[in-house]
Amino acid sequence: MPTIARIGPYRVYFYSHDRGEPPHVDRDECTAKFWIDPVALAYNINFRAKELRDVQRMVTEYAVEWLEIWNENFGA
């Protein structure tokens, strides 16, 4: 599962063997999965609402860059 970014306490990665999995964001025991085109939360485990909004803003800010990395990996 390639790490595509580390921003502050967050690690952003996706599963290279599963084309259907969008990027995930982890911190400690928290994880969230976001679709990136368009940006939408797929699921959240343990992030509180305020932090999750911050994470979603981060995903939105980097969505174009991460989508390029995604497409490079999967040849889209």
Q: Which two tokens stand for residue 65?
A: 């860059």
pLDDT tens column, 53-68: 999 999 999 999 988 8
Sequence spans of domains, the chain: 3-74
d(CA 48, CA 46): 6
pTM for this structure? 0.84
Q: Which amino acid is at 70?
A: W
Structure confidence by residue, pLDDT tens digits, 15-68 = 766 666 667 788 999 999 898 889 999 999 999 999 999 999 999 999 999 888
